[in-house]
Amino acid sequence: MIQATIFDLDGVIVDTAKYHYLAWRKLANSLGFDFSEEDNEQLKGVSRMQSLELILDIGGKTLDEAIKQQLATKKNDWYLEHLNQMTSDEILPGVVDFLEDVAQQGVKIALGSASKNAVKTLEKVGLIDRFEVIIDGTKTTRSKPDPQVFQMGAEGLGVATENCIVFEDAAKGVSAALSAGMYTVGIGTEADLGHAHTVISSFEGLGLKDIMTLVEKNNKP
């Protein structure tokens, strides 16, 4: 029985991946190398400092910790320039109706995101009040695929993990939710997220019952 939903943020509620990409690319370019959109796929759901490590690897750079902190701050300042322009127009299709459907059924709603900018993002798009519990990169100590973020979400809501369903766009996020023992829905393609219980391309036209039917039909462990 589903008692709680836990949503990833970037790529599920809003498409901020494009802004992370622009900011990381600007940083890579400032260090003298390029960073492709394909490389950017590896960063989905990955924390800011781990993302920086991946980018520095691509550019073949080894830097000391103090410089790395400065670069991460610089990237975040560039990212915030985009984030500050966001409005509710950037909520992904079907998300608002889906959140309403979940709430109407008396099912709880939490956020489980790696981002340290999650609260600000939800405020910018006007969705902050929909989430009873927000677990983000300011609260976790371990990154996805570790299940910590989703376990903390379930705990915050007071719901057993087996009664939770997670919505995730990143392969590492799907793995995290499965490790937490939760129903797991991938938002994206079967090729990237085939390990989820079911995969949908977007929430458009779907309610919680439709999604549970898909999960049960696939009958994956």
Q: Catalytic residues, which ones?
A: 8, 10
Which listed range, 48-56, 170-178, 179-187, 211-219, lies at the site for Mg ion (CB under 5 A)?
Answer: 170-178
Q: Is 51 in the site for ligand B16 (CB under 6 A)?
A: yes
How many residues bind Mg ion (CB under 5 A)? The answer is 6
- Least separation in angstroms between residue 143's CB and Mg ion is 12
Q: Is 11 in the site for Mg ion (CB under 5 A)?
A: yes
- CB neighbour list of residue 46: distance below 8 Å, 6 or more residues apart: 54, 114, 143, 144, 170, 172
Instruction: Give whichever of 195 and 212 is closer to ligand B16, judged by the CB atom.
Output: 195
- Least separation in angstroms between residue 144's CB and Mg ion is 9
Q: Which long-range contacts (CB under 8 A, 24 or more apart) does 102-107 make?
A: 102/5, 102/208, 103/130, 105/208, 107/2, 107/3, 107/4, 107/5, 107/208
List 6, 10, 79, 153, residue binding Mg ion (CB under 5 A): 10
Q: Is 186 in the site for Mg ion (CB under 5 A)?
A: no
Element (H, E) at 103: helix 95-104
Question: If we measure between CA atoms, which residue out of 156, 165, 147, 153 comes closest to residue 101?
Answer: 165
C-alpha atoms less than 13 angstroms from C-alpha of 198 in its C-beta half-sphere: 17
Q: Is 197 in the site for ligand B16 (CB under 6 A)?
A: no
Instruction: Give whichever of 20 and 197 is closer to ligand B16, judged by the CB atom.
Output: 20
**Residues at the contact surface with ligand B16, assessed by CB under 6 A:** 8-11, 20, 43-48, 51, 76, 113-117, 137, 170
